[in-house]
Amino acid sequence: MKSHYRVVVIGGGVVGASVLYHLAKLGWTDVCLLERSVLTAGSSWHAAGGIHALNADPNMAALQAYTIDLLAEIEKESGQSIGLHMTGGLTMAGTPDRWEWLQSAYRVFQSIGIEDCRLVSVEEACALNPIMSPDGLLGGMWADREGYVDTTGTVHAYAIAAKKRGATYFEHTKVEALEQTAEGWKVVTDKGVIHCEHVVNAAGLWAKQVGRMAGIELPLSPLKHHYLISDTIPALEEMPGEVPMTVDLEGFTYLRQDQKGVLLGIYEIEHEHWAMDGAPWSYGMELFQEQTDRIEKELICGFERYPVLQEVGVKTWVNGAFTFSPDGNPLVGPVPGKRGYWSACAVMAGFLQGGGVGKTLAEWMIHGEPEADAWCMDVARYGAFAQNRRYIRETTGQFYSRRFVMTYPNEQLPAGRPLKTAPAHDAMTAAGCRWGVSWDLEVPLYFAPSPDFVETPTLKRSNAFDIVGEECRAVRGGVGLLDISGFSRYEVTGPNAEAWLDRIMASKLPGPGRARLAPMLGRDGRLKGDLTVFNWGDGTWWIMGSYYLRAWHMRWFRDHLDDGVQIRDLGEEVCGFSLSGPRSRAVIERVAEGPAGDLPFMGCGRFDIGMIRARVARMSVTGEAGYEINCRMGDHVVLRRMLLEAGADEGIREVGFNALLSLRLEKSFGIWSREFTQAYTPGMTGMDRWIAWDKGAFTGRDAALAERDGNGPAQKLVTLEVDAADADASGYEPVWKDGRRVGFVTSGGYGHTLGKSFALALVDTAEAVEGNDLSVHVVGVERAASVIAPSPYDPEGKAMRG
């Protein structure tokens, strides 16, 4: 062992081994992996080794697809067998809603490039898996690229392939302490001290402690998980091949062949956390006693689904643990505020996702940015709130127990909530507000007319449809009041504030007393933010964006900060309300002590609103004239009351974000995570409209210019009018032209005030032509759609500016 390495990877499970391999593959060979015991000694040795291509998140699906492709490669490269059995796989639906969802998911998979799957009838599925009972099943989906691997062989294959490329690993070497140094990290092990630039926490079940060694609280916890391996099944002895990997969604089980028996794994409804502070250091390659009482219901489902199990015994029980984050996705990337400390933790399906995680992290470390959009697994998608133990217990438990439970798009899940509420929350609840959650914050969805109203979970338009419609019409016809605590706000000050903003934003900066839409780009010219910059005219600047990106954006700002600039996240100090609609000016004029009502479009300034010292901006996301009134947290209740009283004669109505989403679609306004992501460019999304090409250097300029002056983007964002009857597009549905897939929906919904279903979609540039007749799948059914001019409501923006 040397005393210096460029990188030390802590943990020799499948994830650490993959990180080591990818670092070496991308050219960093001065790297070592330290394993306290032997390779695989955490969760990895006893995993079921299942791999499958399907994931509803396209970025996770891409990561899984990469891993599956890689497996055969590392087997070849290392010479180590990984025992790959590509049996193909079935996912079975047992309720009408689930079958509808599966048909809809199938279309989404097509959209995101998973071509090797198809819907199958129950008969076909049972022919593919003859030990499966058809009882209660309605249909299924087949995918070619599913199967399983030998877990120990796979970890060793990564490690051997890494070694062949110049990396190294040491077993029986435990990391005991970490200290940040000027150059990077001092890694104290039981075999001596190593200095390095970067450390990677890939400690799996021990990730919590390895985080705490550097003062980091990772939002993750291990949970227990069972599978059984049956004795030999006579029917399988006679079968020439193997049964496919089969997931029975309504039964909470997955099954694959194991020798001439089967492995039946269970997602446990009554989940059990284990070692929330990380596994004990004394924990070896052990298993827990099986807890059949706890999983009785799922076992009964499994034994009924595969009746042959009733005829043979259980050869082995495995009850082991693996780690989960609150949303079940990995926690990957640079840990905010800890230079050179990288997370590769909470990888729930290491054999399926480990390859992609290793690639992403290695690219990030070596090139500064991963190639693909890594938001879905970025460690910075959580803030400090997620370090809370109860939050972790509730959210990881909810994810685990609901792993195979169908979640409807309009369903609000309870775990970890309510956590943060804006001060007017209780008064709004009394007024009928129904809440969703963004990051840690409760955000208003809509206001129910009666306390008895219950929104039914559905894939289609819900029974809240008319309520949201009325809120939209209230905004277009009068004035709506929206709690905008769920926007992020960052204050930028200091002598170099303006120069810094000018460098990191691609737009022109606003003059004093003005605000401006500002795309922020990465060095590669892809989007990093759809922000609004405010110049308050007193040396203070604000950046406003999406609330749930707070930790992610702050990491970016801090990592790119200049001397003489201070940036502060105002998310715990400032909140507010917006007024929008033709009568909004009349309302603000009644309460403002100064000429706030006279602010020009995109003007901003400090005003006294009643007795509140507020910062007001003349803008809205609805396409109507509007004012965003930012106040201190302590003023929120009074501000709401005052605006409601002042607006009573104007028919003011409180509205929620569901209305805002409908109204912004009628204006073709994009939002982050839908129309704008790190994977997209300004040219694709129309963000190039806001770029100040003539202003000189800014981050991402060369790449953006190359897109502008080159062949242009391959796909462009368009607005579609969809001939949909009882459901609307929601995202990632395929867009077709004469049976050829030409794009996908980024978001969709009903335009309540125009009475039409709309979608925004990224389509091949040649198809992005007004009047083009296309089609879109909506909840599994193909619907006619045509490209229309952007902003079907008030295309000239007169209402907004007027």
The reply on whether position 174 binds ligand FAD by CB under 6 A is yes
Q: Under 8 Å CB-to-CB from 648, ≥6 apart: which residues? A: none
Q: How far is the CB of 281 from ligand FAD (least distance, A)?
A: 8
The reply on whether position 302 binds ligand FAD by CB under 6 A is no
CA distance 747 to 745: 6
| b/e sequence 180-209, b meaning 16+ C-beta within 10 Å | eeeebbebbbeeeebbbbbbbbbbbbbbbb
Torsion of the alpha carbons at 59, 63, 66 and 72, rounded to the nearest 10: -160
CA distance 140 to 145: 15
The reply on whether position 49 binds ligand FAD by CB under 6 A is yes
Q: How far is the CB of 205 from ligand FAD (least distance, A)?
A: 4
The reply on whether position 54 binds ligand FAD by CB under 6 A is no
67 phi and psi, to 5 degrees? Answer: -60, -45
CA distance 521 to 505: 7
Beta carbon nearer to ligand FAD, 139 or 358: 358
> Considering only 40-48, 88-96, 685-693, 765-773, which stretch makes contact with ligand FAD by CB under 6 A?
40-48
CA distance 347 to 353: 7
> Considering only 35-43, 156-164, 636-644, 734-742, which stretch makes contact with ligand FAD by CB under 6 A?
35-43
Which of 22, 36, 145, 528 is close enough to bind ligand FAD by CB under 6 A?
A: 36
Q: Under 8 Å CB-to-CB from 318, ≥6 apart: which residues? A: 46, 48, 226, 227, 228, 229, 287
Contact (CB, 8 A) for 63 and 18: no
The reply on whether position 58 binds ligand FAD by CB under 6 A is no
Tokens found for residue 147: 């199967």
The reply on whether position 34 binds ligand FAD by CB under 6 A is yes
DSSP state of 381: G
Beta carbon nearer to ligand FAD, 5 or 750: 5
The reply on whether position 227 binds ligand FAD by CB under 6 A is yes
Rounded to 10 deg, the angle between the 350-367 and 14-25 helix axes is: 40
Beta carbon nearer to ligand FAD, 361 or 515: 361
> Considering only 45-53, 110-118, 386-394, 785-793, which stretch makes contact with ligand FAD by CB under 6 A?
45-53
The reply on whether position 41 binds ligand FAD by CB under 6 A is yes
Peptide bond into 409 cis (omega under 30): no
> Considering only 32-40, 68-76, 86-94, 591-599, which stretch makes contact with ligand FAD by CB under 6 A?
32-40
Which of 314, 318, 405, 781 is close enough to bind ligand FAD by CB under 6 A?
A: 318
Give the residue ranges of DSSP H helices in 273-409: 296-305, 350-367, 389-401
Beta carbon nearer to ligand FAD, 325 or 488: 325
The reply on whether position 225 binds ligand FAD by CB under 6 A is yes
Q: How far is the CB of 174 from ligand FAD (least distance, A)?
A: 4
User: What's the number of CA atoms in the CB half-sphere (13 Å) around residue 356?
Assistant: 30
- Cα Rg, the chain, nearest whole Å: 27
Contact (CB, 8 A) for 627 and 602: no
Rounded to 10 deg, the angle between the 151-164 and 350-367 helix axes is: 20
Beta carbon nearer to ligand FAD, 188 or 633: 188
Q: How far is the CB of 67 from ligand FAD (least distance, A)?
A: 9
> Considering only 10-18, 180-188, 331-339, 741-749, which stretch makes contact with ligand FAD by CB under 6 A?
10-18
The reply on whether position 16 binds ligand FAD by CB under 6 A is yes
Which of 322, 547, 607, 657 is close enough to bind ligand FAD by CB under 6 A?
A: 322
Beta carbon nearer to ligand FAD, 63 or 729: 63
Which of 9, 25, 50, 147 is close enough to bind ligand FAD by CB under 6 A?
A: 50
Q: How far is the CB of 331 from ligand FAD (least distance, A)?
A: 10
DSSP state of 587: H
Beta carbon nearer to ligand FAD, 11 or 251: 11
CA distance 308 to 257: 13
Beta carbon nearer to ligand FAD, 285 or 705: 285
The reply on whether position 321 binds ligand FAD by CB under 6 A is yes
For ligand FAD, the binding residues in 190-219 under the rule CB under 6 A are 202-206, 210
The reply on whether position 37 binds ligand FAD by CB under 6 A is yes
For ligand FAD, the binding residues in 334-393 under the rule CB under 6 A are 347-352
Which of 5, 7, 9, 11 is close enough to bind ligand FAD by CB under 6 A?
A: 11
Q: How far is the CB of 287 from ligand FAD (least distance, A)?
A: 9
CA distance 59 to 368: 19
Beta carbon nearer to ligand FAD, 44 or 488: 44
The reply on whether position 5 binds ligand FAD by CB under 6 A is no
Beta carbon nearer to ligand FAD, 48 or 567: 48
DSSP state of 398: H
The reply on whether position 13 binds ligand FAD by CB under 6 A is yes
The reply on whether position 15 binds ligand FAD by CB under 6 A is yes
Beta carbon nearer to ligand FAD, 158 or 676: 158
The reply on whether position 324 binds ligand FAD by CB under 6 A is no
CA distance 340 to 710: 36
CA distance 342 to 638: 44
> Considering only 36-44, 179-187, 478-486, 502-510, which stretch makes contact with ligand FAD by CB under 6 A?
36-44
Beta bridge partners of 254: 247, 265
> Considering only 7-15, 385-393, 601-609, 618-626, which stretch makes contact with ligand FAD by CB under 6 A?
7-15
CA distances from 394 to 400, 416, 417, 581 (A): 10, 6, 9, 40
Beta carbon nearer to ligand FAD, 268 or 733: 268
Contact (CB, 8 A) for 607 and 596: yes
The reply on whether position 429 binds ligand FAD by CB under 6 A is no
Beta carbon nearer to ligand FAD, 210 or 376: 210
- What is the CB neighbour count within 10 angstroms for residue 469? 19
362 phi and psi, to 5 degrees? Answer: -60, -40
Closest CA to 746 of 548, 530, 470: 530
Strands (E), 261-309: 261-266
Beta carbon nearer to ligand FAD, 35 or 75: 35
Q: How far is the CB of 16 from ligand FAD (least distance, A)?
A: 5
Beta carbon nearer to ligand FAD, 139 or 211: 211
How many binding residues for ligand FAD (CB under 6 A)?
A: 40
Q: In 3-state terms, what secondary structure has residue 595?
A: coil
Q: Round to the nearest angstrom and report the end-to-end CA distance of the chain.
A: 71
The reply on whether position 46 binds ligand FAD by CB under 6 A is yes
The reply on whether position 44 binds ligand FAD by CB under 6 A is yes
Q: How far is the CB of 137 from ligand FAD (least distance, A)?
A: 22
Q: How far is the CB of 388 from ligand FAD (least distance, A)?
A: 23
Judged by phi (left if over 0) then psi (alpha if -120 to 50, else beta), residue 432 lies in left
| b/e sequence 390-429, b meaning 16+ C-beta within 10 Å | ebbbbbbbbbbbbbbebeeebeeeebbbebbbbbbbeebb
Beta carbon nearer to ligand FAD, 395 or 462: 395
Beta carbon nearer to ligand FAD, 223 or 587: 223
User: What are the strands of the beta sheet with 221-230, ordered from one edge?
Assistant: 117-120, 139-143, 89-93, 245-248, 253-258, 261-266, 221-230, 314-324
Binding site for ligand FAD (CB under 6 A): 10-16, 34-37, 41-44, 46-50, 174-175, 202-206, 210, 225, 227, 318, 320-322, 347-352
